[in-house]
Amino acid sequence: MHTIPSTSLEPDTIGQSGAHAVYRKITWRLLPFLFACYVFAYLDRANIGFAHLQFAHDVGMSEASFGLGVGLFYAGYMLFEVPSNLWLQRVGIRRTLLRIMVLWGIVSAGTAFVQTPAQFYLARVLLGAAEAGFFPGVILYFTYWFPAARRARITSIFMIAICVSGVISGPLSGLILESLSGVGHLLGWQWMFLLEGLPSIVAGLLAYVYLTDRPEQADWLSAAEKRFLIEELRHEAQAKAGRAHASIWVALKEPKFYILTFAYFSVPWASIVVHIWAPGVIQKSGVTNFWHIGLLSAVPYVVGAAVMYLLGRSSDRMLERRWHFMVSTVLAAAGVALLPLAANNLGLLMFLLCVATAGYLGMLSLFWTIPPAYLSTTVAASGIGLISTLGQLGGISAPTVIGFASTHFGSNEMGLYAVAIVSILGGLAVVLGIPAAAINER
């Protein structure tokens, strides 16, 4: 277990302007690289939605079998998420990201060679297992460098990587599908998996060289800056230790822990529509050119990035998390539930996808400011990982439900309604189940 060393320098002796300078320096050092890594992560995770436009027929899959394959990603993810976070706490971010990113890049590129549904299922499980631990690991890593009052904005900026990935993934995947099909005896979706998996391998190798595991090892901070940062984080840890749970086993006995888990369970439900089914929804509205589908699919992420950042900034300014999360769930639910009404109206369809995407991204970024503030430092590694792991059951169930509805009812309408209901219930769980006083930030 890591213990923040004590020093004689009080946090406020460096001055308010000096504190801002320290955190600005840390932000510019760490965030751009981690941001790029997350772009690659979502590129490799969500490009299956574009591959589906071509390869379902080639591999011989129904909508139900495709939905099952999408969900199996989260099965592999769940198995290794908590062990990965505990391993990060032991060996550091550098070796953790080296393992995660190189493996997921290899598996993502290897998906180009699946030929049957069973091989597709195996590839998805392996991809989830490879990527497991990346997101909760970075969230844990932020707690080593930023106090709670600064983390919502940092997390929101980090989450914008999802939007950037969506902006890049759509046009890039659409262009590859449209222009490279048949080149070198490979289909367009095969080229897409190959080309989009390679950047993750390179980023994993760079992570080992570039990142710093702990503040006390940061030779790019001055001695005074390191003392200030270590002492400020130590003060926050001491303040939380008296109010929060002392062990993960105590936390597991708390109903609030499971309320948080259910709230996160609702987030993958919204994400499946945004990341996986949106290209198909756009295609069914009458757009047939893959390049055009890719361009249109990028628009909701631009809108979502702006809304997510504004929500995160407002949440930090007010130090209020619960109701901001609830607003996000309402946006996601409304956008998803109304999609069937806009099936033949491209303009309205795009507006609703923008609303749904903004709501989903708000849910994702705001939720992850709550567990680090609620759980003590001693259980943050296992607690964050466990909540994320159990919440991934939503990632397994949502695509399965939508795929089943599409196959057996002839449309995904019932599946979309289920997504909206689960999203709203997730928001209500946080607002009604987690008292504001339980979030130790004030």
Q: Which residues contact 156 (CB under 8 A, 6 or more apart)?
A: 308, 309, 311, 312, 313, 365
Alpha-carbon gap, residue 176 to 231, rounded angstroms? 50
Sheet strands (E) in 214-338: none
Q: What pLDDT is stored for residue 5 in this prediction?
A: 47
Q: What pLDDT is stored for residue 12 in this prediction?
A: 47
Determine the average pLDDT of the residues in 352-378: 82
First to last CA, the chain: 26
Ordered by start, the domain boundaries in the chain are 17-215+223-438
Buried b (16+ CB within 10 A) or exposed e, 105-138: bbbbbbbbebeebeebbbbbbbbbbbbbbbbbbb
Q: What pLDDT is stored for residue 148 in this prediction?
A: 76
Token pair in block for residue 202: 């390179």
Sign of the CA dihedral 263, 47, 137, 372?
negative
Is residue 107's pLDDT more than 60?
yes
Contact between 362 and 324 under an 8 Å Cβ cutoff? The reply is: yes
Whose structure tokens read 């009812």?
409
Q: Give pLDDT tens digits for 307-340.
A: 888 888 888 888 888 899 999 999 999 999 999 8
Alpha-carbon gap, residue 427 to 411, rounded angstroms? 27
Cα distances (angstroms) measured from residue 76 to each of 124, 226, 288: 8, 38, 33
Q: Give pLDDT tens digits for 61-74.
A: 888 888 888 888 88
Contact between 305 and 357 under an 8 Å Cβ cutoff? The reply is: no
pTM: 0.76
Is residue 6's pLDDT more than 80?
no
Token pair in block for residue 385: 């990982």
Alpha-carbon gap, residue 360 to 42, rounded angstroms? 14
3-state helix, strand, coil in the chain (%, to 5): 85, 0, 15
Cα distances (angstroms) measured from residue 4 to each of 7, 238, 369: 9, 10, 21
Greater pLDDT, 216 or 373: 216
Question: At 383, is the secondary structure helix, strand, or coil?
Answer: helix
DSSP-H helix ranges across 144-214: 148-179, 188-210
Alpha-carbon gap, residue 189 to 284, rounded angstroms? 19
Per cent of the chain over pLDDT 90 is 30
Greater pLDDT, 313 or 31: 31
Which has the closest alpha carbon to 393: 278, 277, 262?
262
Is residue 152's pLDDT more than 80?
no
The superfamily CATH assigns to domain 17-215+223-438 is: MFS general substrate transporter like domains (1.20.1250.20)
Is residue 1's pLDDT more than 50?
no
Q: Give the DSSP letter string of 85-141.
A: HHHHHHH-HHHHHHHHHHHHHHHHHHGGG--SHHHHHHHHHHHHHHHTTHHHHHHHH
